[in-house]
Structure 1
């Protein structure tokens, strides 16, 4: 608590204000908004029964009351569900829905912008896993919700938490829940006008400051809600807007993969990394959300609801990174020095140098400035009708339209430098690297190295229709009600993405054949800058050179003019020694029909749920049994793209023209998904649950893309053709299915107090991983890497939750309370682990390949931590509300092969693994890809709020990452799990104020 108070007191003088308002919400109103408060299953928005319920009103005005509300939802639902109410979202020290979700039992989040990109840490959190599984379905008020990012799930960090009434996470489905979440289903609930008794006005504002970025950023939200009795019935309206900016910074130090060397120590194989990298990423995001709803009740048995929801999310990267480009097999100890290795032959420390003239007379490094922008918009417009034509029959109909777009542009420009030597020390935690400071700070030692541009434009549209009939069967017997319904969707995805367009300006391997010399800045003085990483780099905990010469930021942002100017240098140099016709051509990244991914998917579902209760027979057992039938039709349009014509190839060989061949792939499948949910009330406070079901998750749209680019080149030195291919997707993929069982014991022993335990087991079929296999096109065989259904997985685990309000303590001590949970998950996979062999080269297998060609065995599922827990202590008494929350998860697999698709000698792969950078030594020629893990990670957050005028006025401070947590990335190699990267980010402080009228 002292840490929280100390950090908060520093920030309170600098900041202004925000948090989320809390409102009264009845259990009946909650059910109307997609929340299963005392109902057997979640209703669609607006699906409540007409009239007022006799259920007591739960007023959400404080932490303890909101915890009690969430436990009430869990206790009364027929499914296994965990929830967070609006007050939790407002009071937790979280700045996004993603961060809020990690407080729920069994839910963990990633801290990378992409699992396939472990070099870019995400401060606010990104992907969500439930029970260790990435197969998560997202909903908004019980309806589809997705972002146009190539997946089927909403990017939860895109959604302003200020717009939500609560979040529900379903662990085991009933048949009326929409299919798609093997791991679980996350339902975001918004407020409706009828949730409040009358007029509500709320405004809030805040300011956030990070201690690394040191940039104050504002946030604002406002809500208006009211309801009226009119001659045409009761009408209610609600409008809610939220805007926020977040400016964060991440500092990182990285170690390149280790390579086997037999020439450094006589009679021994030792392993050395090809260098140390370091980077700084300044990340700015802007988030705007708007929500509105209209409710109309023209009669007691009829209610109409329409909602509008839009989330706009923009981010901008400004990155400075320096990374090794050396050939690891040319690195030797500097004159008069020796490398130190541990007992396993793994490099520990020493001064490295590279005397090979082919590497430019030094150790090549690239220093890049990267500017990346993304703009995502998701809009949901929905309508719902709820009608009771007769007393026992409830009819509802639902119509939804979702329109999502995502545009991004990524621009990178780099200088290069050939360092005479660097001193590396890997024995002290964070890697340390030292170089001659005068050499690395001298701009005359740098040359223009490369450019890389990439852009995406994705558009997703969906129409969804649903109708339900719910008939009351309760005449005093066992059967209580029967629900029957159907749902149809029509989804169209049009995703365009250019490949990353890396093009050399001047590289050491181009000299002297392509260009006579490197393009040094002194000879070509385009805009550059000496960038100072700052004395507070890595909070002062890393020893790296701080002054490095980079391209000016304008080189990345003044696109395309800056790129054209840079590549004119290459042309000028090349034409000094070569005919213009044989010089490298330059082209900007551009959309073509060939890299357009068009998917059209239709789904149809029919379902029935029978609710029963044996209470009349003296047996306190209730539940439901159901069956869902799902049929899916998929049509994928794309292209196979031939290689471009090869210059320098002899006559009589294969001829390529770069033309495209259209693909029109169709996929059709159907599934029956049964489910059973049982609730047995042992005592009024103790109850047991049992659930069994079959579930499914469709592949992401990017995994279904029909796009296969083929590449070919000719090595004039060895006289060989080199072929390769990586497909974006596989339209013939099948959904992943799961047979799953849950059993739970729940004890509710007081207000906001419970002890629960759940054991679960899931057997997954048709899990998806990338596989490399032979692919023959026009008589040429390519090693094609693409996603395939490869095998099965077994998941088992246990969840334990403990919540208690210490109301039994005397006086001021009665304000203390605790919420906590613990999850254990274990997995075993069974996949086809064979790798494709071609000549002397090994290709990337399902589980990854080491730099020495060793193929790894079975790996756990991606994203699955064996252990995770949340521990939150709170105090609420009078005007004071305090919370301190710690979240932790153990090591987990990020991806199976993300660290290399190049030759193990460090140069570009030019022969599909047969020749690597002209080096014909077989042991230097491996198409490798290392499994990458995130090490265990924990973060401490806190908040202090003061409330006045019956909670109508509040102000306080929130703090994230109080302990300056360090996140580590590991890479699996034959020598063990090696440190890959170390990241730290801002401690963030937010001062906020809200007013509710």
Structure 2
């Protein structure tokens, strides 16, 4: 296969040389408007019925069956149609740039508006696409207060995002688990450095300024990546424009939680040289912001043998994050046009995301009747770099090829502290005994929320009271003793090398054939759950150990109060805001000499290596499809894709046995292969030039996560039952048969009414399974991912984007964007109960009220995501599932055209300070409740050259 991969460039060169010598009757050109190239425009030859659609850069290729005078008609939503006459000769004919003028119904909006041009581009791409998809254009992203790639897609109908400390970092389509949505960059699967081994790509490292278009495909076609049960989200990076452009932006803002400033800036430059043959696009962005979060976290005694006590409270933690996030991005796009039939391009991307977050954790430990205080300094780093080289070549009137070679690399890692050879996340732990105990324990001696308590005795959700018998026994720096130091390790890397070749053959004016091959080689390594642990000798009861060091005797700094502590909860919690160590003091404590001086011993688990793995995955894919114009109004797209996957992973097996317990380590490798045959059919019927009905059947799949396949295995024989944790190399991919029926109507004044239904029948759903069994009289507990059950998902969606220009005067600038998605699903992890799919919300809703007139644009946006199951406890049942609660955020933005080239803007996020809540079984049984505050910024965008 590698040898075949090396032959692809040679094949390409041969085909290009052949192309230059081939004479054909082909018309190529560019369709443009007042705001640049127009993607999704329709170009037709009425005499022959031949037609084409412009690509994302406004380019089209139209085959001609005759020479001489030929008329072509160009149409585009919101623009006047234009007919032109060409004198077609043998070979490739260059029609040049065909300029369209705005239609009378939208001329005022297009000339003076700030949002309409990008909406027109998105609607035209959607209207003419073969797949069922939604589209966002770059200008539209810039008009919303969405600063990374995940936030940019949250407004799309049927898309849900996950939020991490106030910012979206992952996206999924149609309520499926996040790993079931394929995240693409320029059509290629984006590598994932997800910490949990998931294939879901984290998107907070990608600034929204790097993106030209976002295509959200809900029913894919055979030429798209097939591992997409939910759908695919394709982020298309910026490419060179038809003419020179240069714009810059700068903004500064404020975070109401951290009480600190933010700033961001960007520059975009594009130009063409050498008689327009060489195109260049450079974009760069920086976004620095202070941020903060208060998180109220609760853990429960779900591991207790007594079923009635499993929902009793183990710990309550008041945690504050107060940190800095830095996002840097740069995008390069080059293309060179040899002639009308041949061009090559190069794209490059460099993104870096620093998440620096000191964390302050105050615990009440009910089981051990003690306080615990942790201080940790986290500096998470994400790198995403990549480049791709490609070309497009018209070999004859009937044959066209395109090819790409790409290499993308991502890494998610920790590299502190600098004083220790073991890099990771340093954590210091202090404990203080609560001698007086607690007054509000239940009759069984456990702490509950009052609604769970056997006798109604316990705490009240929403207003936390620790229930101390001695109210004066508060956390005290002189009594908090240093007992543990930990370096949590994390280093996940993934690199994809990809080669792809596509052929398009026009059999006749009604039938177009397309086929292609793709090869991807993935290298992956992972380290998660591995920790270096040091315990103080005195805490272990070792004689003559140095006394435990109190927090008060170490170098400390002021606690970051920033206007208050846990204002989201009723009551006063300032007593838990303990002045922490300085960052340098934390690092110094982990110095080898200091560890020895303070009597700390390395008690790191010998099974740590089981959390480390590396390996490769190779995917060979091919597809064939036909686009058939069955009539002027009816189009059929049918084909099949096949993806063959082989992987090999290397890890470590650990067996713990004997008295005293000893750990035996041994290397272990796993490998497997599987095939995915994916037939697909799309039907598109144009009721009128403004209305389409679409139907589709697609078969898609998702590969098992690396964390589920890992060869690492841990066996602990010292426990009863013996516990075994291991991966499962025999996991089967999850497959889905998908059925879609959608309708869409395009308003003449820039807008859309759409709706439809969808159904997915899913086979071999993967869950983490825990099994208790006996063998030769010994009890065992095995935790392992399994293909446990089949599932189904049924949904409907509807949306409207409408400008209310029928209203008089000032009110004519009003408009609305509303979309709603209802989703229901069912999966049966065991034979005793059913549940919905993980991450699946029943209700998704977006509402945007906007005003756009005479250079003024104001948008008020609401985003609602209903409650969803996040984790399933198969042994204990539904009362012990964890859920993310419903969430509704309100954002706003506004722009004003100061001059024809300078625009002022304001962006506001989370205006209502909406918290993010996770609960177990019952909404009152809180697992986590986080508050972030609001943030906003104001700035200037200057189109220096446009």
For the criterion TM > 0.5, the same-fold answer is: yes
Task: Give the match's secondary structure for 1:66.
Answer: helix
Residue 429 (str. 1) matches residue 376 (str. 2)? no
Report what 2:886 is aligned to.
936
Structure 2 runs not aligned, ≥5 long:
1-32, 44-50, 63-93, 103-109, 415-423, 441-457
The alpha carbon displacement at 1:674 in A equals 0.5
For residue 732 of structure 1, the aligned residue among 726, 730, 733 is 730
Report what 1:888 is aligned to.
864
The alpha carbon displacement at 1:53 in A equals 6.9
Task: Give the match's secondary structure for 2:121.
Answer: helix
Q: Aligned partners of 1:778, 1:315: CA distance in 2, in Å?
A: 50
The alpha carbon displacement at 1:127 in A equals 2.4
Q: Aligned partners of 1:615, 1:629: CA distance in 2, in Å?
A: 29
Whether the 8 Å CA contact 2:41–2:54 is kept in 1: the answer is no
Report what 1:161 is aligned to.
208
The alpha carbon displacement at 1:416 in A equals 1.2
For residue 324 of structure 2, the aligned residue among 246, 265, 284 is 284
Residue 869 (str. 1) matches residue 864 (str. 2)? no
The alpha carbon displacement at 1:724 in A equals 2.4
Q: How is 1:226-375 mapped onto 2 (pairs within 5 angstroms)?
A: 226-230=271-275, 234-257=277-300, 272-327=312-367, 359=368, 363-375=369-381
For residue 484 of structure 1, the aligned residue among 507, 510, 515 is 515
The alpha carbon displacement at 1:496 in A equals 3.0
Q: Aligned partners of 2:913, 2:374: CA distance in 1, in Å?
A: 27
Q: Aligned partners of 2:878, 2:796: CA distance in 1, in Å?
A: 36
Task: Give the match's secondary structure for 1:69.
Answer: helix
Change (3 A) 1:48 1:637: farther
For residue 638 of structure 2, the aligned residue among 625, 639, 662 is 625
Q: How is 1:407-446 mapped onto 2 (pairs within 5 angstroms)?
A: 407-408=413-414, 409-419=424-434, 420-421=436-437, 426-427=459-460, 429-433=462-466, 439-446=473-480
For residue 987 of structure 1, the aligned residue among 934, 937, 943 is 934
Task: Give the match's secondary structure for 1:65.
Answer: helix
Report what 2:247 is aligned to.
202
Whether the 8 Å CA contact 2:497–2:521 is kept in 1: the answer is yes
Report what 2:622 is aligned to.
606
Residue 184 (str. 1) matches residue 227 (str. 2)? no
Q: Aligned partners of 2:757, 2:519: CA distance in 1, in Å?
A: 34
Report the more deviating stretch, 607-616 or 560-569.
Answer: 560-569
Whether the 8 Å CA contact 2:267–2:284 is kept in 1: the answer is yes
The alpha carbon displacement at 1:646 in A equals 4.4
Report what 2:818 is aligned to.
820
Deviation string 1:595-620 (CA, Å, 9 cap, x unpaired) is 4311211111111110011225xxx2
Q: How is 1:401-800 mapped onto 2 (pairs within 5 angstroms)?
A: 401-408=407-414, 409-419=424-434, 420-421=436-437, 426-427=459-460, 429-433=462-466, 439-475=473-509, 479-497=510-528, 499-505=530-536, 520-521=548-549, 525-527=553-555, 531=559, 533=561, 536-539=564-567, 541-548=569-576, 549=578, 551-554=580-583, 557-558=586-587, 561=590, 565=594, 569-570=598-599, 585-586=601-602, 595-616=611-632, 620-643=633-656, 646-647=659-660, 656=662, 658-713=663-718, 723-727=722-726, 729-773=727-771, 782-800=780-798
Q: Aligned partners of 1:757, 1:295: CA distance in 2, in Å?
A: 38
Report what 2:383 is aligned to.
377
Change (3 A) 1:747 1:519: farther
Whether the 8 Å CA contact 2:559–2:580 is kept in 1: the answer is no
Q: Aligned partners of 2:880, 2:59: CA distance in 1, in Å?
A: 50
Residue 89 (str. 1) matches residue 141 (str. 2)? yes
Q: Aligned partners of 2:522, 2:619: CA distance in 1, in Å?
A: 8
Q: Aligned partners of 1:686, 1:65: CA distance in 2, in Å?
A: 20
Q: Aligned partners of 1:522, 1:764: CA distance in 2, in Å?
A: 56
Q: Aligned partners of 1:254, 1:977: CA distance in 2, in Å?
A: 13
Q: Aligned partners of 1:622, 1:248: CA distance in 2, in Å?
A: 51
Q: How is 1:76-115 mapped onto 2 (pairs within 5 angstroms)?
A: 76-112=128-164
The alpha carbon displacement at 1:691 in A equals 0.5
Deviation string 1:177-229 (CA, Å, 9 cap, x unpaired) is 11111101011112211xx2321111111123111101212212111110124
Q: How is 1:53-68 mapped onto 2 (pairs within 5 angstroms)?
A: 56=100, 62-68=114-120
Whether the 8 Å CA contact 2:41–2:124 is kept in 1: the answer is no
Report what 2:37 is aligned to.
26
Change (3 A) 1:485 1:724: same
Whether the 8 Å CA contact 2:301–2:310 is kept in 1: the answer is no
Task: Give the match's secondary structure for 1:828.
Answer: strand
Q: Aligned partners of 2:775, 2:349: CA distance in 1, in Å?
A: 47
Whether the 8 Å CA contact 1:825–1:865 is kept in 2: the answer is yes
Deviation string 1:508-548 (CA, Å, 9 cap, x unpaired) is 8x5xx657999554599344567465652233643243134
RMSD of aligned alpha carbons: 3.6
Deviation string 1:746-805 (CA, Å, 9 cap, x unpaired) is 122332222111200001111111112469999987523121221111000011111101
The alpha carbon displacement at 1:104 in A equals 0.3
Deviation string 1:685-726 (CA, Å, 9 cap, x unpaired) is 222110001001112223222111233447xxxxxx663233
Whether the 8 Å CA contact 1:807–1:814 is kept in 2: the answer is yes
Deviation string 1:211-250 (CA, Å, 9 cap, x unpaired) is 11012122121111101244xx711111111111122111
Task: Give the match's secondary structure for 1:249.
Answer: strand
Change (3 A) 1:891 1:697: same
Q: Aligned partners of 2:412, 2:52: CA distance in 1, in Å?
A: 37
Whether the 8 Å CA contact 1:46–1:385 is kept in 2: the answer is no
Task: Give the match's secondary structure for 1:158.
Answer: coil
Task: Give the match's secondary structure for 1:216.
Answer: strand
The alpha carbon displacement at 1:812 in A equals 1.4
Q: Aligned partners of 2:303, 2:766: CA distance in 1, in Å?
A: 31
Whether the 8 Å CA contact 1:415–1:550 is kept in 2: the answer is no
Q: Aligned partners of 1:698, 1:43: CA distance in 2, in Å?
A: 30
Deviation string 1:416-450 (CA, Å, 9 cap, x unpaired) is 12233567785463434476675425323322232
Task: Give the match's secondary structure for 1:799.
Answer: strand
Task: Give the match's secondary structure for 2:812.
Answer: helix
Change (3 A) 1:235 1:447: same
Residue 808 (str. 1) matches residue 806 (str. 2)? yes
Residue correspondences, number: 832
Structure 1 runs not aligned, ≥5 long:
1-21, 33-37, 113-121, 328-358, 572-584, 650-655, 715-720, 834-855, 902-925
Report what 2:917 is aligned to.
968
Whether the 8 Å CA contact 1:382–1:399 is kept in 2: the answer is yes
Task: Give the match's secondary structure for 2:530.
Answer: coil
Whether the 8 Å CA contact 1:450–1:506 is kept in 2: the answer is no
Task: Give the match's secondary structure for 1:440.
Answer: coil
Report the more deviating stretch, 794-803 or 539-548.
Answer: 539-548
Using CA pairs under 8 Å that are at least 6 residues apart, name the structure with larger relative contact order, 1 or 2: 1
Deviation string 1:921-975 (CA, Å, 9 cap, x unpaired) is xxxxx9999421111110110012111333x2111211111111122211127xx
Whether the 8 Å CA contact 1:793–1:828 is kept in 2: the answer is yes
Deviation string 1:36-74 (CA, Å, 9 cap, x unpaired) is xx9789889999787657584887962233223222222
